[in-house]
Amino acid sequence: MIEFNDYKSEIENQWCPGCPNFGILTALKRALVSLGKEPHQVCLVSGIGQAAKLPHYLRCNLFNGLHGRAIPAAIGIHVANPTLTTIVTTGEGDCYGEGGNHFLHALRRNPDITVIVHNNEIYALTKGQGSPTTPRGEKTRLQFTGVEAAQAQMLSTAIIYECAFVARGFAGNMNHLSELFVSAIAHRGLSLVEVIQPCIIYGTRLVSWYRERVELLPADYDRRDRTAALETALAQGNRIPIGVLYEGPPRPLFAERYRKRMGEQPLAELPLIRQKTIAARLAPWNRNQ
């Protein structure tokens, strides 16, 4: 039996005391336990940022790569070893800013990975510059007169790009978040969970601002209705709905064709190609042998 403590990491945590990131960490551990995953079956992949340090704080395999490049690394890992549960933990700067192009194309590809975006609407590790999701007009430590660009709406972008699992969670509602993670990880194909994670140091709004506005999607919400989901994702009212915004019919998986041909084992375990196979291909050119 897998227990919560199996995921306990001995590494010193560098997050600020009281950071909502702790809620995300606990929710993820709980989700992995409830899915019965063992640490060696899980691979956490991240880029750089405060959020991207999460893999060090959860005992499992980890690849902590470059800023913005968690998704391509995760795609490579997933293709090389599909038996792993591959999860990206990333900040919105990492994922939508530096890695924006990879994010878009990952949605198109639909690899069977989970992407958890810690959305604190700020670049925290670099101490307070605007991020793609900082609301327009907010003053930051670089945009002194206010952010001029529009706020990125990546959940709606994901729905448009046919992502078949799009959810929003709140770091302050751990039980609900943990359930979202369970569904996201169980989903076959790319699943996206954007988590509201207010930054208690550089955030332009207080945690309470978010807490007052967050509300669960209504019980009769039809998560299979793509158009309604898009409307919900785009809504700019005073309420911030959390839950699974959209769950679509299964789409073809990335590398599916290759895997049908080669089986599900790790690429490292496939036998070496035979010399005969190479020789056969050289034969038409080897007129003398």
Is residue 123 part of the contact set for ligand TPP (CB under 6 A)? yes
107: helix, strand or coil? helix
Q: Does 160 help bind another protein (rule: CB under 8 A)? A: no
Question: At 76, is the secondary structure helix, strand, or coil?
Answer: helix
48 interacts with ligand TPP by CB under 6 A: yes
Compare residues 160 and 278 and give the one whose CB is closer to another protein.
278
Shorter beta-carbon distance to ligand TPP: residue 80 or 201: 201
Q: In the bound complex, what is the minimum distance in angstroms from residue 144's beta carbon to ligand TPP?
A: 18
CA distance 212 to 221: 21
Question: Which of the listed partners (another protein, ligand TPP, none) does 176 bind, with a CB threshold of 5 to 8 Å by partner kind?
Answer: none
| Contacts of ligand TPP in 94-113 (CB under 6 A) | 94
Task: Show the site string, 97-136: x = touches another protein by CB under 8 A, - = not.
Answer: ----xx-xx-------------------------------
Q: How far apart are CA 111 and CA 79, in angstroms?
A: 8
Give CA–CA dist 206/208, Å, rounded: 5
Among 20, 55, 72, 91, binds ligand TPP (CB under 6 A): 91
User: Which residue's CB is nearer to another protein, number 224 or number 257?
Assistant: 257
Closest residue by beta carbon to ligand TPP: 91
Structure tokens at 149: 């660009």
**Contacting ligand TPP within 139-198 (CB under 6 A):** none
Backbone angles phi, psi at 85, to 5 degrees: -90, 110
Strand pairing class (191-196; 214-216) = unpaired
Picked from ligand TPP, another protein, none, the partner binding residue 153 (CB below 5 to 8 A depending on kind) is none
67 part of the interface to ligand TPP, by CB under 6 A = yes
Phi, psi of 204 (to 5 degrees): -90, -10
Query: Looking at 43, 195, 196, 230, which residue binds another protein (CB under 8 A)?
Result: 43
d(CA 94, CA 89): 10
Nearer residue to ligand TPP within complex by CB, 127 or 136: 127
User: Which residues are CB-neighbours of 190 under 8 A, at least 6 positions away?
Assistant: 106, 107, 109, 110, 111, 112, 113, 114, 115, 163, 164, 165
Listed residue (38, 105, 102) closest to 65, CA to CA: 102
DSSP code for 244: E
Question: Which among another protein, ligand TPP, none contacts residue 20 (Cβ within 5 to 8 A by kind)?
Answer: none
Rounded Cα gap, residues 24 and 13, in angstroms:
14
CA atoms of 114 and 192, how far apart (whole Å): 6
Interacting residues with ligand TPP (CB under 6 A) = 48-51, 67, 91-94, 118, 120, 122-126, 131
Interacting residues with another protein (CB under 8 A) = 11, 14, 38-41, 43, 45, 48, 53, 55-56, 59-66, 69, 72-81, 83-84, 101-102, 104-105, 255, 258, 261-262, 266-270, 272-273, 275, 277-279, 281-282, 285-289
